[in-house]
Structure 1
C-alpha cells in the first residue's frame, strides 16, 4: 500500500506540474488576443516571465532588418548596461547573445548550451575562469562585469528562423533552474509565432484594407478557440469520468473549424478528418477513415515529400502548394509530427495569392508611371526642337541630297515620341473621363483601320457584334487597348490567319474577345505578361500590354488569357453596372 500511495502522490505532483504549465501557457495565449501590437505584447510577456521566476533582470531582444538586436522590453537592467548592450549587431559583435541568435555556438559555449540552442549558466565566474584567454575574448563580458552570475539566453523562433531572444540575469548563483528553462523553451515558439503575426499584420495593413478585416476575423477565431481551450483546461481538473467529456469538446472544436484538419498514421491512412475535410475531399468521414490519402486523391509530390519528412524526422512543416486534385487551388498546409503519424491542417489561400499578384503587378505599373511622368516633359521639349530643325534643314535646297536622311531621322524622333506616349499612358493618375458608350460602336469606328492593317499583312479579320448594353467608357483608352491587342494578335499569326473580334454578355459582364490563330504564348511567359518592358519582339518596348492592364484597371475590367499552340484568346470582362 505504501508503494501505491507514493505513486499516487507522484502522480498528483506530476498532474499539478502539468496544470501549472497549462495555466502559464494559457496566460501566454491570452496575450495574443489582448494586444494589438508587438511592443505591447512583449511588455506583457515580460511581466509573465517575472511572475514565473525569481530573477531580477529580464529582457526580450528583437532582431531587426539591419542586424541589430535592441531590447524591445526589459526590466531590472541598469542604464549603464542598456547603454552598452542595446546597440549590439549580429554582424559586428561577439557574445553569447549573438551566437544564440545566429545559431552558431562555439566550443567554449558547449557546456552551457541546451539541446534547443539556449545558453544557460548558473555560475558565470566559474564558467569564464575555466576558459583560455582566446576563448574569453569571444565574450563581451558585460554581464560578468556588472556582477551577473546567473545568465540565460533563450531563442525565440518562428518555424526555423530566430526572431530574437529572452535574456535572464541575476547577481546570485543558481537562479535559473533547468526545468524552468525547458518550459520557456517550449513556449518560446508561441511567442515567436505571435511576434511573426504582429509583424505580418503591420505589413499587410499597409497593403490592403480588406486584409485588416481578415485579421480581425482570425483574431476572433483565436479568441473563441482560446476560450474553449481554457474551458478544456478547467475540465481536466475534474475526475477521470469528465476527461471523456473534455475529449468530446475538443473534437467539437475541430469539427467547427473552417480549415480542413486530418490525422494520418505512418501508412498514410486517415485516422481522423473533420467536417471541413469531408467537404474538401468530397467524401464522408466513414468513407475516408482507414483509406490511404493517395487512394483518395492524387497527392502533390511536394506535399507527399513533406509528409514523409515530418514523420521520419519528427518535425513540423508549413508550406504552400497548388493542388490540381482540388481544382488548382492554392493551399497553405501545416503538418505536425504525432506519435503514430502526423496531424495536418490546410486552408485555401487562392484569393490571397491572386491579390498579392495583382498588388505586385500594379506596383510595377505605378513605378513605371512615376518614372515616365518625371522624364517625359524633359525629353519631349528637346526632341520637339530637334524635329523642327530637321524639318527646316530638309526643305533647304542645299540639303536636297540629304533629304532622305532627314526624313529617316524625323521618323526615328517620332518613334521615340510614340514610346514616351506609351510611358505617359502608364503615368496617368487622374480618373479617366467616362461617358456612356456602346463597345460595338468603338470597334466599328476602328474596324476600317484594323481591316487595312490586316489586308496589308495578307491576313483575315472578322467582327461578331453581340447585343450588349452601353457602358461607362473612355473611348480613347478603349481604342488604344483594342489596337494594342489586335496588332499583337496579327503579329503572332502567319499569312492567311484569321483574327476574330467578338462582343457578348456573360455572367452579368460585357465580354470583348480577341482571338488569333498564332502559335500561342509559352507557359514560362504567362506570369510576365503585363510586366513593363517585357517583350518577345525585336523592336517592341514591352509597354503595350502593360498599358492594356492599366486601361482595364481604370475601367474596373479584368483581362483573362487562354493560350494553346493553336492560338491565343484574350477576353476583357467589363462589369455591367446595376440599374438603380
Structure 2
C-alpha cells in the first residue's frame, strides 16, 4: 500500500513538472508573438533552470565573428563568466556536435577537470555538476548553448532530459524566428533608405535646376536652402559667401534675426574693433565656421569628414567631453543652443568660397552618408555661384569698357593740355631735368639744367649727341649706358662736369630714350662729412666710457637708453641688446631724490647734476649709487643726450648707516649706564609700598588699581631691562653651534604663537648648514623678535617662513613674511631706538637684534615691498664647523 502511495505521489510530481514546463513555454510564446523579445533569453534560461532543478545557468548565442557569447546568466561570478568567454570562442564548432549533450555528474571526479585550472573556478563559483545542451539548426549549424549548473553532484532524471530536449528545440525555433525578424527589419530599413535616397536625389536635381542661369543669385540660393531643408528635414539653414575678405550670411531660413546679426561676421577683432590679419595676410576667422572656410580641419579627428565638413549630433556632449585645448571643438557659443550642427564647404574646385550651415535643436539628425551628399551639393552650388560671379564680372567689364572708350576720347582731348602742363611743371621744379632719344641726342632741357652748362645754350644743345658735347663725362657714360642696355633705372652721385658741385643723378630708361633728373647735394655731402667726423668722435668716446670702471650709460632727455657701457653691463647685469632703447627708469626701477623732470631740467640748464640714486639690478638687488649726469654735446638740431656715470656706494652707505647706528648705541649705552639704577631704586621702593598697601583690608576696593600700578611698574622695569640689553657693549661668549638646532628648539613655540593668531609658520632648513660661532641665548632672542615682528606685520591668514642656506661662505638666516611691507620713511631709520609702528611698542626690539648681529659679526639686509618683507642675517661661516 505504501509503495502504491509513493508511486502515486511521484506521478503527481511528474505531472506537476510537466504542467509548469508547459506554462513557461506558453508565457515565452506570448512574448515572441507580442514581439517583446527583450527578456526571451532570460525566460528560456529561467525555464531550463526550473525544469532541471538547477542552481545556476547560462545562455549563449553563436556567431561567426566572436563565437559563443553570453546573452543571459544567473548567479554566476565574474571570474566564471570571463572563463566561459575564453573557452567558448570561435573554436566552439570543433568540439560541439548535434545531439551530444555534456553531462558531468561530479566535476571533482571528472577526468576532464582533475588537472585543469578550470576546476578551481568551478568550485569557487559553487558548481559541482554540469548539464550543457548545444543548440543546432536542422542543417547542423551551431546556434548556441543552454547550460545548467548544480551546487551538488547530480544526475538528471529522464523527465528532465526529455523536457530540456523539448526546451532546446523550442529555443532553436525562437532563435530562427528572431533571425528571420531581424533580417526582415534590415530589409525594411534598406527599402526605406533607398526611398529616402531617391527622394533626396529628386530634390537635389530640383535644387540644381533652379541654379542654372539665375538672374537673381539671392533668390536662387534661397530656393536652394529650401530644397536642402526638404532633403535634411533640418530646422535652420543658411549660406555664407565671401564678401571683401569676410564671410557674412547671404541667405538663411529658420534662424532668428538676432542670431543672424550676432553671428554675421566671422572676423576676429582687436581692442579697437579692427579686423585682425593672420600670417598669410587674410582676415583671421573665428569659430568653427572659420575653421571650415580656412580648411583648418583634420579628418582623423572627431566631427570632421574627409570632404572638409564639420558635423555633430549632440553639441551638449561635445561641450562636456571636449578638453580646453581641443581647438576642433571650440565655437563662439551661440550654436550650442542647437544639438545637431553641420558646416559644409561651398567649393569651386579646391577653393572654398563659402559654406552651408545646418542647425537643429534635435539630436542625431545627420549621418556620414547625408554629409557626403551635402558635400556633393556644396561643390555643385559653388560651381553655380562661381558661374554667376563670372557672368556678373563679364557684364561689369563690358560696362566699364564702354565707359573706358568714352574716357579715352576725353583723354585724347586733354592730352595736349597735359603735355603743356608737364612742360610747365618741368620748368618749375627745382631739380635739373633733360631727356635723350635712343641716339643719345638732347630732345629736352629745362631751365635748371641749363644753368649747369653756361658755356652752351639750350638751342645749341638740342639735337646734339651728349657724347659729342661732353666726350670725357665719367662716370655718366657708364651709368647711362647701363640704364639703356639693362633697361633699369640707375642712381649715382658724381661731381658736375663744369664745377666742383656734387650732383645726385637718377636716369630712367624708356622705349623712346632716357630721362635724367639731377639735384645739387653739395651741402648734404658736407653735412655727411661732419656726421662721419662726429661718429668717429663718438666711437672714441664710447671706447673711453667702456674703459671706465664705473657704471656708465647714455640716455636721452626722456630716459631712453642710447648707449650701454661695459661697466653698466657688469654692474646692473643687462647686456647691451637688452638695455638699449629701453627706458632706464623702468629697467632699473630707479628711485630718485627729486622728480626725474627736475633733474633733467637742471642738467640741461647747468650741464651737470650729482646726487644719490637707488637702482635695481637684473637679479633684483637694490644698488645705491652716487650718480653724475653730464649733458652730452650734440650737433645742431639733435636731441639732447645725458651721460650718466654711477659709482656703487651701497657698502659705503651701509657703513655710514652702521657707524651712525653705533654712535646711537654708544649714546644709548651712556644714558642707560647713568640712569638705569637711579630709576630702578625708587621704582622698587614704590612697588614694595604698593604691595604692602594692597594687603591692608581698608584698601580692598582699590586692589584692581594697585594691581594695575604694579603691572605698569613691571612693564617699565622690562623696558629698562631691554634698554640695558641694547646698551650692552660687553662681548658675548660665542661657542660653535648650529642655527638649525636653535630654530628647531624654538619651532614648537613659534608654531603655537602663529596658531593662536590663525596664521601660518614654516621652516626651510638646509640640512648640511655649516656651524657658526654663536651665543645661543642671544640668537634665540634675535629669532623670536624677527618672527614675532613678522607675524604682527601680516594680516588675517598671514604667513611667516624662516629659512637657512649657504651663499658665498656666508651662513644665511632669512625671515620672510607676506605683510604689507615697510614704508620708505621707516625703512631709512630702521634699527633706531624707540622707533616703532606698533601700538604700545617700545621700539627696542630691532635695535637689540642689530646689536646682537653686531656682536656676532653678522650683517643684516632687507628687501621689502607690497607683497611682504624679508630680513637676511648673514653670519660668517666657521671653517672649523664644516
TM range (shorter): 0.3 to 0.5
- TM-score w.r.t. structure 1 length? 0.47
Q: Which has the higher helix share?
A: 1
Question: Which of structures 1 and 2 has the larger relative contact order (alpha carbons within 8 angstroms, sep 6+)?
Answer: 1
Name the larger-Rg structure: 2
